[in-house]
Amino acid sequence: MLEQAVKTEELLKVENLKKYYPIRGGVFGGITGSVKAVDDVSFTVRKGETFSLVGESGCGKSTTGMCLARLVDPSSGKIYLNNANIHEANKSALKQYRRNIQIIFQDPYSSLNPKLTIRKILSEPLLINGYGSKLEIENRVLSLLEMVGLGSQHMDRYPHEFSGGQRQRIGIARAISLNPDIIICDEPVSALDVSIQSQLLNLLKDLQEEFGLTYIFISHDLSVVEHISDRVAVMYLGKIVEMGTTKEIFESPKHPYTRALLSSVPIANPKTKLMRKRIILEGDVPSPKNPPPGCSFHTRCPFKTEICEKSIPSEFQINKEHSVSCHLVENGAIF
Amino acid sequence: MLLIHTLSGSESEGVMLSPVLNINNLNVETTGRDAYSILDNIHFQVQAGETLAIVGESGSGKSMTALSILGLLPESGLRISSGEVLLEETNLTNLSDKNMNQIRGKEIGMIFQEPMTSLNPSFTIGNQLAETFKYHTNFFRKEIREQSIELLRRVKIPDPEEKLKAYPHELSGGMRQRVMIAMALACNPKVLIADEPTTALDVTIQAQILDILSDLQKSYGMTVILITHDLGVVAETCSRVIVMYAGQIVEEGSVDEIFESPKHPYTKALLLSMPMLGTSKKKLHTIKGVVPDIKKMPTGCRFHPRCEMATDMCRQQAPKLEQTEDGRRVRCWNKL
């Protein structure tokens, strides 16, 4: 708790980020509509914290991550890292930026080049960014491997010789190699077994403590998110519906979607089964091609009223840390 | 025959039931010059009306167990070397393909993990549902249609008449999984085997599907074998649990027993290594190392290289799956 109070320095600032993908169709293949993958998302990430984006598939959490790393170009919106403008950065500025913002991908099987040895994979970013002499690079690679719990005997092996968990460790080593400011972790443990998942989560936490790393953690797994994050943003259909400290979000969720999401998580304790009341949502997430008017959650919301169908709710501050986009919470209709 | 009362649901409480499915000392190995053991002496029973969970990490053999029950082991590469699978009185392991086809879909229903690939993309839902009826019953067209609509209604698919005309790509993942459940239920099977039915789905959709499964289980007294790696799902839906590790059963017991007082170090470590909602943010417990390779199984207890409590005994001699006084089974020299 003390730790949380210290983290106030803003590192990354995102304002009104949008990513629309055009839909082509018709006789001449013109643009007939757009998929609003990320629709007006704003948040800030503080130095040294873990900020999580949670949501179901298709909610835009990964696209947000890709926009931040500039792996896809946002349609509009502003991104600042240490007050430097990223959304308009040119090629050379981007190179510098990418050094400071690294990404760990979900699938450890396809994110490592199968034709390169681990030595090559890990020294490439160092070479490109002019880390130093051959010997310095070699030493750095070795110390990176040790940091993630591997050793020199692994240097000259190829990715296929490693298990999923080990590959993900290599992915982590690659991400931390240039001492970045921020690491985007896009579902880093989703493809792994429970016992391996816990090893990696502990590793991520250890590295954060040791090097003061800042994580943007993208996941659909709420128990993992609760475990690792300081602050959480819940996304639904391209929008952030609720944002706050982990404690607030998990102990007193306000948005009906957050509540439903939390109550859907199966808990590995047969005793709680009878005690808790589940909110089971009806239907599926609507298509982002054609999102419902008004509040995008109203089609599945158990509490919806007339106003929800008509106007888009704006962000409502419950307190300094906790904001929610819901008419009903704003009106005081639900608590 | 063993008479054990199960803990599943209120209806069956205290009622003496006989097992529907008996798996007796089942061994599966790879074919070829060196035969590696895939399943080692799998032995368990499934009581009528219960929901049995088979849990384990990838490579533990849980899916292979399901495939061997259904006689769906890949023909090249794997074979059942000994043991039997008894569905009531019939031994399924030595049935011909033709007879086995009569069992699959009719006596034993199945649901697979991937709702995206387990439906045929070029036929409508109605068409694929009808196929099951055509194969196993002699219903007329009208009856088939009525039954299909009824099935879709049972799995809570909105406007079922319309959905019969839909192709799989027009449905979402959750809807497709419901269709799979409907197909599996078509002939009122005695046992339903669900292999990771919700793993590919989002949590809110997972909650819907689990809700449907437990509803069906309650209202039709269906027997379900649920194969999963998610201990949360187990705690919420099942009555009895079998934990598998490296091709062996390591522990068996009721849900409450397993979660409250696991007796095998692996089960305990597995429970501790899961981040759980509402628990403290301390460091997670970890199990060092990885699941062993089938070609290089450790001597003695298969879990010993990763076990914190391993002794010399564990390194040298393989423990047997022993029945404890309270009717549970554990494979460990130093039971917790």
- Say if the Cβ atoms of B235 and A269 lie within 8 Å: yes
- Band (pLDDT 50/70/90 cuts) for residue A281 is confident
Domain annotation covers residue A138? no
| pLDDT for residue B225 | 95
Q: Is B170 on the interface with A (CB under 8 A)?
A: no
CA A61 distance to own-chain centroid: 6
**Averaged confidence pLDDT in chain B:** 87
Q: Which of B231, B270, B277 sits opposite A265 (nearest CB)?
A: B277
Average pLDDT of the residues in B30-56: 91
Classify residue A146: in a domain, yes or no. Answer: no
E strands present in chain A: 10-25, 30-46, 50-54, 76-81, 84-85, 101-104, 182-186, 214-219, 231-236, 239-245, 316-317, 323-324
Report CB contact under 8 Å: B269, A195.
Answer: yes
pLDDT digit string, tens, across residues B223-264: 999 999 989 899 988 999 999 999 999 999 999 999 999 999
Residues of B117-156 as b/e, b for ≥16 C-beta within 10 angstroms? ebbeeeebbbebbbbbbeebeeeeeeebbebbbebbebbe
Q: How many CB pairs under 8 A join A and B?
A: 123
* Residue from the list B269, B275, B290 with its beta carbon closest to the beta carbon of A224: B275
B116 pLDDT band, cuts 50/70/90, is confident
| Residues B170-184, mean pLDDT to the nearest whole number | 90
| C-alpha B310 chain-centroid distance | 29
Residue A122 lies in a domain: no
Query: For residue A250, what pLDDT is reported?
Result: 92
Do residue A195 and residue B287 have CB atoms under 8 angstroms apart?
yes
What is the distance between the alpha carbons of residues A202 and B19, in angstroms, rounded to a whole number? 43
pLDDT at B274 exceeding the cut of 70: yes
Q: In this model, does residue A202 exceed pLDDT 70?
A: yes
| A27-76: pLDDT as tens digits | 888 888 888 999 999 999 999 999 999 998 889 999 999 999 888 899 99
Give the A window 113-172 contacts with B, CB below 8 Å: 163, 165
Confidence of residue A6 (pLDDT cuts 50, 70, 90): low
Please, which pLDDT band fits residue A138 given cuts at 50, 70 and 90?
very high
Angle, vertex CA B71, rays to CA B69 and CA B77, nearest 5:
115
Range(s) of the domain holding residue A275: 2-115+158-330
Largest CA distance in chain B: 68
CB atoms within 10 A of CB A328: 21
Is pLDDT larger for residue B278 or for residue A9? Answer: A9
Q: Cβ separation of B276 and A267 shorter than 8 Å? A: yes
- Give the position of tokens 């069956």: B12
pLDDT score, position B7: 39
Mean pLDDT over residues B183-194, rounded? 91
**CATH code of the domain covering residue A78:** 3.40.50.300
Option in A205, A264, A270 nearest B203 (CB):
A264
Confidence bin at A158 (pLDDT 50/70/90): very high
What is the length of chain B?
336
Within the 289-318 window of chain A, which residues sit less than 8 Å (CB to CB) from chain B? none
Q: Enter the pTM of the model.
A: 0.85
Q: B274 vs A223: CB contact, 8 Å cut-off? A: yes
Give the nearest chain B residue to A165 (CA atoms).
B290
Q: Do A268 and B232 touch (CB under 8 A)?
A: yes
> How large is the average pLDDT for residues A79-95?
86
- C-beta atoms of A264 and B206 within 8 A: yes
| Partner B contacted by A192 (CB < 8 A) | no
Q: Taking CB atoms and an 8 Å cutoff, what residues of chain A touch B174?
A: 284
Residues A244-262 have a mean pLDDT of: 93
Q: How close B283 comes to chain A (CA, Å)?
A: 6
- The reply to whether A99 falls in a domain is yes
Among the partner-chain residues A199, A250, A284, the one whose CB lies closest to the CB of B277 is A250
Q: What is the rounded distance in angstroms from the CA atom of residue A319 to the CA atom of residue A302? A: 25
Is A220 part of the contact surface with chain B (CB cutoff 8 Å)? yes
**CB-CB neighbors (< 8 A) of B233 in chain A:** 266
Q: Residue B89 pLDDT > 60, yes or no?
A: yes
Q: Name the residue with higher pLDDT: A145 or A93.
A: A145
Amino acid in position A260:
A
The one-letter amino acid code at A245 reads T
Q: With respect to residue A147, please indicate whether it lies within any of the assigned structural domains.
A: no
Angle at A229 between CA A205 and CA A74, to 5 degrees: 110
Q: Which residues on chain A are in Cβ contact (under 8 Å) with B211?
A: 278, 280
Task: Tell whether A144 is covered by a domain.
Answer: no
pLDDT in tens, B5-42: 433 444 444 445 678 999 999 999 998 888 889 999 99
The residues near A146 (Cβ < 8 Å, ≥ 6 apart) are: none
3-state SS, one letter per residue, for B109-142:
EEECCCCCCCCCCCCCHHHHHHHHHHHHCCCCHH
Q: B286 and A267 in contact by Cβ < 8 A?
A: no
The count of structural domains within chain A is 1
Q: Which pair of structure tokens corresponds to residue B160?
A: 């079922």
CA distance A203 to A10: 25
| pLDDT confidence of residue A1 | 43
Mean pLDDT computed over every residue of chain A: 89
Q: How many CB atoms lie within 10 A of CB A51?
A: 24
Is A315 within a domain?
yes
Whether the CB of B55 is below 8 Å from some CB of chain A: the reply is no
For residues A268 and B274, the answer to whether their CB atoms sit within 8 Å is: yes
pLDDT for the residue numbered A275: 64
pLDDT number for residue A108: 84
Other beta carbons within 10 angstroms of residue A212's beta carbon come to: 11
Distance CA B222, CA B230 (A): 22
The distance of B317 to chain A (nearest Cα, Å) reads 25
Q: Is A123 domain-assigned?
A: no
